[in-house]
Structure 1
Amino acid sequence: MADDHTHVQDFFTARAAAWDTRFPDDGPAFALAVSALGLRAGDTVLDAGCGTGRALPALRAAVGPRGTVVGADLTAAMLESAARAGRGRSGVLLQADAARLPLRARALDAVFAAGLISHLPQPGPGLAELARVVRPGGLLALFHPIGRAALAARHGRTLTDGDLRAEPNLRPLLARSGWRLASYTDEETRFLAVAERTH
């Protein structure tokens, strides 16, 4: 596990400073994905694997000034980039492993997770940990600003049947981890799976 964490931290530390300039036009896609959570004023929401915090302003807008927004990331350099971009004003920035969160059980109304699932060393236990901190009926949004095929092409790969985010694989994985898949969108311009905490 430590080796997996080191690999993830090394990968993102090397890219943190230039991350936002690589993807300058993603803001509206993040805001649209956040809207799928149906957050209300006063809600408590976590951005798990928040990176440079691109979702935090949209999450803050959704929960209002009385709501609570937490952005958690494993990589200090990403959180430093989020702070430099002023996104710490939208929520609390916390260095933490999404698979071992320092949060109470059922403390959250929702979790937003952009690109996180492919970086979890053990996706099942990672998703179960996200379920632990969400109240029954709360929501999880697994998001990426481009779809699976476009992302694979960007990395010079082809999609396979074993892709974790393919609906036939993701649905049972979520179910085993305390979630029910409520909606699934995989198109050129976005990937968005929304799941509900079952109990």
Structure 2
Amino acid sequence: MTDLSTMLPPALRKALDLLTDPPAEPDVSKGYLDLLNTPEDDDVAKNTGVIQAAWASTIGSFFYDNVQALSRRFIAAWQLPIDWLSIPPGGTALDVGCGPGSITAQLARAVGPDGLALGVDISEPMLARAVNSAAGSQVGFLRADAQRLPLRDQTVDAAVSIAVLQLIPDPAATLAEIARVLRPGGRLAVMVPTLRPPIDLGIKLPTGGAHLFSEDEIGDILEDHGFVSVRTKSIGQLQWVRGKLG
């Protein structure tokens, strides 16, 4: 019998060892490991809003990729705190809602040639762009739902989620999942849009299926799941939240 795992790219071969339920016949026909379309996925809430639909389209993923690249270059609010994450060389870093993979590529440089940077996303067009631009020997991508991460407990050294939690139907479930897969002492950095004064006006505006977080919402959720040294920093309507799993 052919061992299909030996036919996988090196990064996805490493990823198989971290999965809760590795598939007997891994589907990597599109360059990423597709772990969706199972009966269990029907039980997970889906975002059907217009913003998610736009980003999940081919044109939307192209637009998002380019806007994000410009934002990272010129807007301080988008700069990833790589040094703060303290990712050990040879470690494993997770990008939840990786989109076109640019942040995952930054994590890959931090883990080094012996490490693993994994990007997880639900959008096929986004993952196609990620594979095309960032896949490599220590960079792999998984198609999975962030509300039910496919990784085993305590398998990740650091995690990030950049401007995506607002599009997830149950962001608290995603943060709980990240806490589950992080090793003790592992660090998490999250960036989300927040409601700041005038809050009442913001609540009444149409959101297109996106959740707008209150100023303390993410921090409170992280503390509920065992994170310590939780810190927040708001820049305009964006907020960074950092924490270390106790």
* TM-score interval for Structure 1 and Structure 2 normalised by the shorter chain: 0.7 to 0.9
Q: CA deviation at 1:179?
A: 2.4
The size of the alignment, in residue pairs, is: 189
d(CA) in 1 for partners of 2:143 and 2:53? 15
Higher mean C-alpha deviation, range 64-73 or range 118-127: 118-127
CA distance in 2, matches of 1:181, 1:164: 20
Determine the structure 2 residue equivalent to 1:12: 55
Summarize deviations over 1:8-57 as a string: whole Å, max 9, x none.
75332221122222333233455542333121211111000000112122
Structure 1 distance, partners of 2:45, 2:83, is 35
> Match for 1:4: what amino acid?
K
Residue 36 of structure 1 is aligned with which of 81, 84, 98? 84
SS in 2 for 1:24: helix
Deviation of the 1:159 alpha carbon: 7.1
1:101-120 per-position Cα deviation (integer Å, ceiling 9, x unaligned): 11110000111100122122
* Alignment gaps of 5+ in structure 1: none
1:22 aligned to which of 47, 51, 67: 67
Sequence identity percentage: 28
Q: Confirm or deny: 8 A CA contact 2:219 2:241 kept in the other structure.
A: no
What is the rounded CA distance, in whole Å, between the counterparts of 1:32 and 1:11 in structure 2? 24
Gaps of 5+ in 2: 1-42, 205-210
More displaced, 186-195 or 69-78?
Answer: 186-195
Larger radius of gyration: 2
Q: Is the 8 A contact 2:186 2:245 kept in 1?
A: yes
Tell me the secondary structure at the aligned position of residue 26 of structure 1.
helix
Q: TM-score by structure 2 length?
A: 0.66
Relative to 1, partners in 2 of residues 1:65 and 1:26: Cα closer, same or farther, differing over 3 Å? farther
Deviations 1:54-99 (A, max 9, x none): 2122111111111110001011110001122x21126101101111
Q: CA RMSD in A?
A: 2.9
3-state SS of the aligned residue for 2:179? helix
Aligned pair 1:70/2:70, yes or no?
A: no
Aligned-residue offset at 1:125? 1.8
What is the CA-CA distance between 1:171 and the residue it aligns to?
Answer: 2.3
Q: TM-score, normalised by structure 1?
A: 0.80
Q: Distance in 2 between matches of 1:63 and 1:189?
A: 31
Residues 33, 192 of structure 1: 8 Å contact kept: no
Q: Which amino acid aligns with 2:46?
A: D
